[in-house]
Amino acid sequence: MSVEAEPSRVLPSIPASPGLIASVLRLLAFVDDLPFGATGVLDFGEQGLILLESRKICWAVARCMRLRLTDILRNQSTPPLPREAVEEIYRRCKGNGKPIGEALVTSGLVTEAGLRVALFKHNGEAIAHLAGSGMAPNGFVSHTRTGYDPKFSFSPGEVLAMLGSLDDPARALAAQIELGNTLVPDSFGAAFVRSSTSAGALIIAVDRACDLPVSDLLEVCNWTAGLFDVAHTFDPEASLALATWGGHLALVAWRSKDVTYLGLCASRAAAARLVSRLESSSKSSGVIATAARYREPV
Amino acid sequence: MTFRAERAGGGLDESNSLDLVCATASVRSGALLDEAVSDRTRERLEGLAATLPDVFGTVDPTCLDRIAERLGGKPGDATFVEILLLSDTKLHVIQPLAGRPGVAVVAACPANSSIGLVLTAIRARVGDWEAR
């Protein structure tokens, strides 16, 4: 029996409040402010903790959470995983100190994709609860113990996108697929919408290579949103933008329905490849076809 | 493909084969700086020029620096050097003049133009604009 990935399933126990994203942003800023490569525990006292490895979120727990990881894992499959089998692995892990999720994958009860989805939900819910409590962390306790598989850890941007996706999980999943199909090597990116639940851009998808601090990611999303806003005054149909800076770096932004995508490229060649890929995936768009002719003049 | 000589006021003649119009504008005020551009050129570029304060005034250079660092670039050159905006019918270009801080070239042409040729045409004129 294996667990199928269901990234679009909404987390029912995340407290849905207008201030959720703002409070999560404040919390994730603590993670982003840690030194590069920080490994240890962001301690919230009795309220909970966030375990980090190389500044990525491996595990988070909040006292008031209603669902445990094992509950999420069990309920992700149909029929649910047998409780006894899961609890047996849990007991074994408690004894040998290994992460339970990875032991479940090894046992064949859960797929890697299923575990990642479950951890994403679990950690996202914990962070939402910790953020909702309004507590700042007591401090960061650094340690050298590592061992979490990077496949099962999440950047602050990914967590933010997961919470941003709650409004419309299907739209967020489509955006995630679009990013995955479009971004090229030497680029990373995100997708966002305008929403009343956030002051500016609401990030709904982030590709895994994007490790920008959430404040910088939001800044560039808001700038991109503003660029299309002002472009609307002289060309309401403008739907693709290319901006270059720093000699060879480029930002490619494109809009599809109400979602705006951006790809940050380490070279102009990467930007050209990204635009070319947009053309091949959007044959009907005259805008993209035009942009595909973008080549640096000799 | 060749261009006809630009007009005395500095805007390229809109009758050239790319149907490209361009002029300089103030990044701070959004006003076109070339007084002698034709009414048609002005009409095509005024809207774009007016957005410059928003486009350049809302980006945090330190943020671009940090992103540059993550992308493997060198921090310290956190200003957009070229911005292209495309729709199905139009291509608009903004290119700040490195030699004249606070001034940018704004250009517009049909979307079916070769972007490489458009950029080449604009860059060919940059020396003249910077010398003013």
CATH number at residue B88: 3.30.450.30
pLDDT: which is higher, A77 or B42: B42
In a domain? residue A226: yes
What is the per-residue pLDDT across A95-153, written as a single tens digit (0 to 9) for each? Answer: 887 777 778 888 888 888 888 888 888 999 999 999 988 889 999 999 877 667 778 89
Give the mean pLDDT of A167-181: 92
Q: Does B82 touch chain A (CB under 8 A)?
A: yes
**Ranges A72-76, A111-115, A147-151, B13-17: which has the least confidence:** B13-17
**Residue B39 lies in domain:** 21-51+79-131
Residue A69 has pLDDT above 60, yes or no: yes
Q: Quote the CA–CA distance of A52 and A262 in Å, as a whole number.
A: 27
Q: Does A84 touch chain B (CB under 8 A)?
A: no
What is the per-residue pLDDT across A5-51, written as a single tens digit (0 to 9) for each? Answer: 444 444 556 655 668 888 999 999 999 999 988 999 999 999 999 99
- Helix, strand, or coil (residue A56): strand
Give the mean pLDDT of A80-96: 85
Question: B63, A285: Cβ pair inside 8 Å?
Answer: no
Q: Structurally, how many domains does chain A consist of?
A: 2
**Ranges A96-105, A239-248, A287-296: which has the least confidence:** A287-296
Amino acid at A63: R
* pLDDT band at residue B27 under the 50/70/90 scheme: very high
CB within 8 Å of A208: residues ≥ 6 apart: A155, A158
In a domain? residue B68: no
What is the per-residue pLDDT across A24-36, written as a single tens digit (0 to 9) for each? Answer: 999 999 999 999 8
Q: Quote the CA–CA distance of A103 and A165 in Å, as a whole number.
A: 29
The H or E element that residue B64 is part of is helix B61-70
Give residue for tokens 């109400």.
Answer: A258
Question: B120, A298: Cβ pair inside 8 Å?
Answer: yes
Same domain for A279 and A188: yes
Largest CA distance in chain B: 45
ipTM of the complex: 0.86
CB within 8 Å of A24: residues ≥ 6 apart: A127, A128, A131, A159, A160, A163
Across chain A, mean pLDDT equals: 85
In a domain? residue B57: no
Same domain for A133 and A213: no
Q: Quote the CA–CA distance of A172 and A108 in Å, as a whole number.
A: 29
Same domain for A213 and A132: no
- Given this model, what pLDDT does residue A16 score? 57
* pLDDT band at residue A284 under the 50/70/90 scheme: very low
Find the CATH number of the domain harbouring A262.
3.30.450.30
In a domain? residue B71: no
Q: Which residues in chain B have their CB less than 8 angstroms from residue A290's CB?
A: 86, 88, 91, 111-112, 115
**Residue A50 lies in domain:** 20-152
Same domain for A173 and A148: no
Q: Could you report how far apart the first and last alpha carbons of chain A are, in Å? A: 58
Same domain for A199 and A267: yes
Ordered DSSP codes for B21-41: EEEEEETTT--B--TT--HHH
Give the mean pLDDT of A52-67: 88
Question: A241, B54: Cβ pair inside 8 Å?
Answer: no
Same domain for A176 and A115: no
In a domain? residue B31: yes
pTM, two decimal places: 0.85
